[in-house]
Amino acid sequence: MRRRVPSALTQHIERAKQLLDTLEVQAHVARQALAHDGAAEFEAAINARGQILDDLALVVDAIARERATATDYDIDADGGPLLAELARAAAAALESQRELTARAAVQRNRLASALHNVNRPDSVASQYAAAGGARRPVRISVTG
């Protein structure tokens, strides 16, 4: 029995699925970094996701070109089930992106609130300062 060589469409779909899986891994890394206040790790994960998305855009363009030139048989035989898998993987990646965005927004708001609180005068400290009144300057005399 002769083994069928995967078509270019199949290869592109498989590559897209790999990239989506890698995107999911980076989303997990980014969520973990947010949970542990790891700014450098979060930034690295987001940068990696950006590169993966750039690569994915190229692969999606290649899939579109292949689909435009493929016959119905090629799409049904090679790409049909794989395209369905790809659609599921893309939906999962989109949901993961939504979750990551929501968590990043919560973290951003928490940090903005903390920064706002740092810049706001402390009412207890202000009360102590007011209760202490004006202090007279301390002078040290050498002659007595």
Handedness of CA 20, 25, 27, 30 (dihedral sign): negative
The contacts of residue 78 (CB under 8 Å, 6+ apart) are 6, 7, 9, 10
- pLDDT at 5 exceeding the cut of 60: no
- pLDDT at 6 exceeding the cut of 70: no
Residue 127: per-residue pLDDT: 73
76 or 24: which carries more pLDDT confidence?
24
Structure tokens at 47: 């940068």
- 107-126 average pLDDT score: 80
- pLDDT at 92 exceeding the cut of 60: yes
- pLDDT at 76 exceeding the cut of 60: no
Predicted structure pTM score = 0.67
Residue 144: per-residue pLDDT: 56
User: Which of 51, 65, 63, 50 lies closest to 16, judged by CA?
Assistant: 63
- pLDDT at 130 exceeding the cut of 60: yes
Residue 29: per-residue pLDDT: 92
Q: Lowest-confidence range among 13-27, 37-51, 53-67, 118-132?
A: 118-132
CA 138 to chain centroid: 57
Q: How far apart are CA 138 and CA 129, in angstroms?
A: 18
Q: How far apart are CA 82 and CA 97, in angstroms?
A: 22
- pLDDT at 79 exceeding the cut of 80: no
Structure tokens at 133: 């009144």
Q: Cα–Cα–Cα angle for 29, 54, 92, nearest 5°?
A: 50
- Per-residue confidence band for 57, with pLDDT thresholds at 50, 70 and 90: very high
- pLDDT at 38 exceeding the cut of 70: yes
